[in-house]
């Protein structure tokens, strides 16, 4: 068996609580240098490792936070998660990452699991079929911050990005190149980010007096196949778009690229593309992609700091929504339209 406080205490000949005090190392608790040293020596000798579980139970504080994201394989969330872990590590917090695969049932399960494990707080990019389960958590007074996707009518700390503006910038770029038939490859419909990106798309069209063509808005999910299928549909239209704004992220975009190649089209000669794309790989693709990328580390940082503040402040703090900019990176996947 692993040695406990009691074992260490017995080994030194003091009371367990004394050992505890030494190990907690509170400044103001006066302990004789002698016993202090003896205890530390015994700890080393016995190779004592404190039992975090017991401590958590006693202190009602687990130094654990939960992170719920759709899919950690997505470089967007991976980078955010990694940053949160890093910061957590610095502050002695462990983070438990949960992947929902955009399945709200799973999300609810994870939420309960995390609560059951007594996490000190939760960072979540929710599935957004509904919000009751999120509200429940907040009502339980468990610190929570939303990332990427918020519910506009609930008052909670959140970190988002300026989706609409990003797309408007992208469309503007295309219009200036001469494009008039710009399609929007969506991603999953009901998601906050996507709704806002779509809104930005529509607003930009309006601004440039371009008509909104329903068939030009396609896509139903965030997976490779979703992008592939949707783009095939797009490319089967009688009147092809000359440009695509891909708002569903890396996988969707790769799917789109595959479809485009399969149809024998060239990027950007036949069709231009601007994508929300967060991996390192964009410069190396067949045609280096012009992208909208996120400051993912910053998003992770803001989220973690908000959460930490909420965890550490006894009184409830004023909820804040932080908006992080995106970056427009011009590469080679956009050009003037042919016709």
Separation between Cα atoms, residue 290 and residue 304, nearest integer Å = 30
Residue 78's binding partner, choosing from DNA, its own copies, none, with beta-carbon cut-off 5 to 8 A by kind? Answer: its own copies
Rounded to the nearest whole angstrom, what is the least distance from the CB of residue 25 to DNA in the complex? Answer: 10
From residue 35 to residue 54, the character string flagging contacts with DNA as x (rule: CB under 7 A) and all else as - is: xx-------------xx--x
Separation between Cα atoms, residue 327 and residue 323, nearest integer Å = 13
What tokens does 100 get? Answer: 């929902």
3-state secondary structure of 251: helix
**Residue 221 neighbours by CB under 8 Å, 6+ apart:** 102, 187, 188, 248, 252
Residue 62's binding partner, choosing from DNA, its own copies, none, with beta-carbon cut-off 5 to 8 A by kind? Answer: its own copies
Instruction: Work out whether strand 217-218 and strand 321-324 pair parallel, antiparallel, or are unpaired.
Output: unpaired
Residue 100 vs 326, nearer CB to its own copies = 100
Which of 23, 210, 237, 240 is in the footprint of DNA by CB under 7 A? 23
Question: How does DSSP assign 122-167, residue by residue?
Answer: EEE----S--HHHHHHHHTT--EEEES---TTS---EEEE-HHHHH
Residue 200 vs 248, nearer CB to its own copies = 248
Beta strands in 5-59 (DSSP E): none
**Residue 240 neighbours by CB under 8 Å, 6+ apart:** 181, 234, 271
Residue 3 vs 288, nearer CB to DNA = 3
- Footprint on this chain of its own copies (rule: CB under 8 A): 2, 49-54, 56-57, 62, 71-73, 75, 78-79, 81-82, 85-86, 94-99, 112-113, 115-118, 140, 224, 251, 254, 257-258, 279-281, 283-286, 288
What tokens does 198 get? Answer: 């779509």
Rounded to the nearest whole angstrom, what is the least distance from the CB of residue 56 to DNA in the complex? Answer: 8
Peptide bond into 268 cis (omega under 30): yes
Which of 25, 27, 47, 60 is in the footprint of DNA by CB under 7 A? 60
Residue 29's binding partner, choosing from DNA, its own copies, none, with beta-carbon cut-off 5 to 8 A by kind? Answer: DNA
> In which residue are the tokens 């910038």 written?
169
Residue 25 vs 264, nearer CB to DNA = 25
Rounded to the nearest whole angstrom, what is the least distance from the CB of residue 34 to DNA in the complex? Answer: 6
Which of 25, 27, 34, 47 is in the footprint of DNA by CB under 7 A? 34
Residues that bind DNA (CB under 7 A): 1-2, 4-6, 13-18, 20-21, 23-24, 29-32, 34-36, 50-51, 54-55, 57-60
């Amino acid at each position: 068996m692993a040695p406990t406080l009691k074992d260490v205490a017995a080994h030194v000949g003091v009371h367990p609580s004394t050992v505890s005090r030494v190990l907690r190392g509170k400044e103001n608790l006066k302990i004789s240098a002698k016993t202090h040293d003896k205890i530390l020596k015994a700890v080393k000798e016995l190779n004592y490792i404190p039992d975090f579980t017991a401590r958590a139970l006693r202190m009602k504080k687990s130094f654990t936070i939960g992170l719920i994201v759709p899919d950690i394989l997505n470089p967007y969330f991976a980078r955010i998660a990694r940053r949160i872990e890093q910061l957590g590590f610095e502050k002695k917090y462990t983070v438990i990452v949960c992947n929902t695969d955009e399945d709200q049932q799973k999300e609810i399960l994870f939420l309960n699991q995390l609560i059951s494990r007594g996490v000190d707080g939760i960072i979540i990019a929710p599935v957004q079929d509904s919000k009751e389960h999120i509200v429940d958590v907040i009502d339980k007074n468990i610190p929570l911050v939303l990332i990427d996707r918020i519910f506009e009518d609930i008052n909670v700390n959140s970190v988002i990005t300026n989706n609409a503006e990003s797309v408007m910038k992208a469309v503007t770029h295309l219009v200036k190149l001469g494009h008039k038939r710009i399609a929007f490859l969506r991603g999953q419909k009901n998601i906050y980010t996507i709704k806002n990106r779509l809104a930005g798309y529509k607003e930009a069209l309006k601004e440039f007096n371009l008509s909104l063509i329903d068939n030009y808005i396609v896509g139903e999910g965030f997976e490779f196949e979703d992008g592939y299928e949707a783009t095939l549909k797009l490319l089967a239209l009688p009147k092809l778009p000359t440009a695509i704004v891909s708002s569903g992220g890396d996988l969707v975009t790769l799917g789109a690229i595959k479809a485009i190649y399969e149809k024998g089209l060239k990027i950007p000669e036949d069709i231009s593309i601007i994508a929300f794309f967060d991996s390192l790989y964009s410069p190396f693709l067949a045609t280096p992609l012009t992208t909208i990328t996120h400051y993912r580390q910053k998003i992770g940082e803001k989220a973690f700091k908000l959460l930490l503040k909420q965890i550490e402040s006894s009184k409830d703090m004023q909820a804040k929504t932080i908006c992080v900019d995106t970056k427009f990176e011009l590469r080679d996947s956009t050009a003037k339209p042919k016709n």
